[in-house]
């Protein structure tokens, strides 16, 4: 029996090395390279051929760009307007969608609600690898969802999932979650870099070849980024993130990547006893005021635009007060955080904001 090959793979970008080293030379990250056992024995040749077929399904013939059909792909509505808007108008056949979020954010609940309603019109298969079928059934009953037409499967083997999917032929396939799935060819533990990468590659290829809408549930790290190799985000077509603090009942669904629509859409949901409900008018929540209008109240939107806000409010706040500290802080922001306080004074008097004008050389001294 052939000995299993061992490689060292970076968990950030997926680059592999023949031996361990402290820094990944591809993405410059430190302490992200770990040992991964590769494919062994007689399965190596066949698995290698399947691995390098590509994520887009079968290869196409060479043709002119002008001959490519531009017919608009039909979309399937999820039954939730907020969900459809974040996805770019609905679900596209053959698309792979990755949904991430912190534990308890409501990823499984949102997908279960959507799939239960979709199952009445299109065949759907929900694969759970973290929860038992009884737990999912109890949640669906508690939320009052229609469960008659939804097919369920409790499995963590990708090969077994694909066999069932080929027999059932669902148009919508949900895998919860990708971190617990595994392929037989790889000897590493589920959740490792190689297992997540290979499992996602097999499922994505199956979705492209059969036109199945694939939903993958992904874990997140402490800083809120998706867990697993960075190549996972390159495989899929759409990446969405469900966010929300534990002390708030509101959840926001934000698009991170979308090949079929814009990524600047945001959906707002409220976590209630009946599950996640759409908030079609978020302004009524965030701009809720008392019966009497408070004098001096201001409503504004801030999102990584501190300099813009200072620019808009300088006339009403900085100038009347005449506080030189506020003026210098505004000048520092206006110059793009590039200058020191002495540069801000010079900029304030000369009314120029392009770069550093003193001897600090843009090192922000002072």
Q: How many domains does the chain have?
A: 3
Whether residues 13 and 143 share a domain: the answer is no
Q: Output the pTM of the full model.
A: 0.71
Q: What are phi and psi of 150, to 5 degrees?
A: -85, 125
In this structure, are residues 11 and 20 in contact, taking their beta carbons and an 8 Å threshold? Answer: no
Give the residue from 245, 114, 103 showing the smallest Cα distance to 173: 114
Q: Within a domain: residue 55? A: no
Same domain, 245 and 128: yes
Helix crossing, 107-118 with 133-143: angle to 10°? 80
Q: Are residues 220 and 168 in the same domain?
A: yes
Q: What is the CA radius of gyration of the chain?
A: 26
Q: In this structure, what token pair is assigned to residue 214?
A: 């694939």
Helices 324-334 and 306-313 cross at an angle (nearest 10°) of: 130
CATH of the domain at 142: 3.40.50.300
Q: What is the pLDDT of residue 9?
A: 80
Encode the chain (366 residues) as per-residue pLDDT tens digits. 445 567 788 877 777 888 889 998 888 888 888 877 654 444 444 444 445 455 555 566 788 888 888 777 789 999 999 999 999 999 999 999 999 998 889 999 999 999 999 999 999 999 999 999 999 999 999 999 999 999 999 999 999 999 999 999 999 999 999 999 999 887 778 888 888 988 999 999 999 999 999 999 998 887 777 777 778 888 899 999 999 877 788 899 999 999 998 887 889 999 998 999 998 887 777 666 666 666 766 666 655 433 333 333 343 344 344 444 455 455 545 444 444 444 444 444 444 344 444 444 444 444
Candidates 87, 75, 80; CA nearest to 122 is 75
- CA-to-CA separations, 209 to 93, 123, 204, 274, in angstroms, rounded: 10, 17, 9, 36
Task: Assess whether 194 and 119 both reside in one domain.
Answer: yes
Residue ranges making up the domain that contains 198: 74-286
User: Would 291 be classed as within a structural domain?
Assistant: no
Tell me the DSSP string of 144-159.
Answer: T---SS-EEEE--BHH
296: in domain: no
Question: For residue 239, what are the CA distances in angstroms to 128, 199, 261, 295?
Answer: 20, 17, 11, 43
The whole-number pLDDT of residue 245 equals 75
Q: Are 115 and 234 in contact (CB under 8 A)?
A: no
């Amino acid at each position: 029996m052939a000995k299993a090959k061992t490689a060292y793979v970076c968990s950030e970008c997926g680059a592999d090395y023949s031996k361990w080293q402290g820094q990944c030379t591809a993405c410059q990250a430190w302490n992200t390279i770990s040992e991964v056992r590769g494919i062994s024995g007689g399965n190596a040749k066949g698995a290698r051929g399947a691995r390098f077929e590509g994520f887009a399904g079968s290869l196409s013939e060479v043709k002119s760009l002008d001959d490519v059909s531009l017919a608009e792909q039909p979309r399937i509505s999820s039954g939730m307007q907020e969900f459809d808007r974040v996805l770019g108008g609905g679900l596209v056949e053959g698309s792979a969608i990755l949904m991430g979020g912190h534990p308890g954010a409501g990823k499984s609940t949102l997908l279960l609600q959507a799939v239960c309603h979709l199952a009445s019109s299109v065949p759907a298969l929900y694969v759970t690898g973290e929860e038992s079928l009884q737990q999912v059934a109890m949640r669906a009953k508690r939320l009052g969802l229609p469960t008659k037409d939804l097919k369920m499967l409790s499995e963590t083997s990708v090969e077994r999932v694909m066999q069932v999917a080929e027999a059932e032929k669902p148009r919508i396939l949900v895998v919860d979650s990708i971190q617990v799935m595994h392929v037989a060819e790889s000897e590493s533990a589920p959740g490792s870099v190689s297992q997540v990468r290979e499992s996602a590659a097999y499922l994505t290829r199956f979705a492209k070849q059969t036109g199945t809408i694939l939903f993958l549930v992904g874990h997140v790290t402490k800083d809120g980024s998706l867990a697993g190799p960075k190549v996972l985000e390159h495989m899929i077509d759409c990446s969405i993130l469900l966010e929300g603090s534990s002390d708030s009942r509101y959840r926001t669904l934000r698009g991170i990547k979308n090949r079929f629509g814009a990524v600047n859409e945001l959906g707002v949901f409220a976590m209630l006893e009946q599950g996640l409900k759409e908030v079609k008018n978020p302004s009524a929540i965030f701009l809720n005021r008392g019966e009497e209008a408070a004098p001096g109240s201001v409503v504004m939107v801030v999102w990584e635009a501190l300099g813009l806000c200072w620019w808009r409010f300088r006339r009403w706040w900085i100038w009347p007060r005449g506080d030189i500290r506020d003026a210098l802080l505004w000048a520092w922001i206006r110059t793009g955080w590039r200058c020191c306080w002495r540069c801000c004074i010079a900029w304030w008097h000369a009314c120029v904001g392009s770069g550093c004008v003193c001897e600090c050389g843009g090192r922000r001294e002072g």
